[in-house]
Amino acid sequence: MSKRDLKKYLGELSKEQLEEQIIELYEKFSPVKVYYDFAFNPKEDKLLQESKVKISHEYFPVKKPGAKWRPKAKMRRSVAQKIIKHYISLGVDPFVTADVMLYNIEIAQTFSSQGLIKQELFYKSMLNSFEQAVNFVISNGILNEFKSRILAIHQETLQQKWKNKYDFEAIIDKIDY
C-alpha cells in the first residue's frame, strides 16, 4: 500500500474507527507502544542516564552481588549503535543523541587507556563511531556545542597512540577550526 492509498483509506474512516485502529496498533506492536510512551512522556534525562550506564557496563562490567569473579569487558559497539538507532527512530533531541554518541567513544578511550587493546576491530569500530558522531553533529547544526569533546577525543587517540590516529585526523579535517 502506498502512502497516498493509506491517506485515502484513513480519510474515509470516522474518528472512532481511527482511535480503535491506533489503540489496536498500540496494544499489538511493541514499537508503536514505545513510540507513544516516549511521545507523551519523553523523560530524555532518564533515558540518557540509563543508556550511559548500559554503555559503560560494556567496558566496565559490574560484579554481581555474591559472584566470586568479575565479568570480562565485552566492548561491543553494537550496544551503543542499537541505542543510537533507537534514539533516532524515536526523534530524541539531537543534543542527547550526540551526547550518547560521543560518550560511547569517550568510555572506550577510558578503557583503552588502562591497557593495550589487541583487537584491530576495536579501533576500526571506534573510528566508525567517531565519523558517525561528527557527521551527525554537523548535519544537525550542533557542531559548536560538541566541538571541544570531538577535539578531545582526537587528542586522546594521539596520546594513546592508536594505530588509526591519522584516520581520526582525516575526519577532524572536516571541521573548520
Does the structure show a pLDDT above 90 at 105? yes
Residue 42: pLDDT band with limits 50, 70, 90: confident
Q: How far is CA 133 from the centre of its chain?
A: 9
176: confidence class by pLDDT, cuts 50, 70, 90: low
Q: Report the pLDDT averaged over residues 164-176.
A: 89
* pLDDT at 150 (0 to 100): 97
CA 59 to chain centre: 16
**Integer CA distances (angstroms), 68 to 54, 57, 63, 71, 106, in order:** 22, 18, 8, 10, 29
Identity of the highest mean pLDDT range in 16-20, 55-59, 61-65, 105-109: 105-109
Question: Percentage of the chain with pLDDT > 90?
Answer: 58
> What average pLDDT does range 62-70 have in this prediction?
74
Q: Is residue 69 over pLDDT 80?
A: no
Per-residue confidence (pLDDT) for residue 149, from 0 to 100: 97
177 pLDDT more than 70: no
Cβ(162)–Cβ(109) below 8 Å? no
- In three-state form (DSSP H/G/I as H, E/B as E, the rest C), the secondary structure along the chain is CCHHHHHHHHHHCCHHHHHHHHHHHHHHCHHHHHHHHHHHCCCHHHHHHHHHHHHHHHHCCCCCCCCCCCCCCCCCHHHHHHHHHHHHHHCCCHHHHHHHHHHHHHHHHHHHCCCCCCCHHHHHHHHHHHHHHHHHHHHCCCHHHHHHHHHHHHHHHHHCCCCCHHHHHHHHCCCCC
Task: Read off the C-alpha cell for 85.
Answer: 538507532
- The domains of the chain are located at 1-41, 43-172
* Per-residue pLDDT tens over the stretch 110-155: 999 987 788 889 999 999 999 999 999 999 999 999 999 999 999 9
How confident is the model over 73-92, as a mean pLDDT? 90
Q: What is the mean pLDDT of residues 7-18?
A: 90
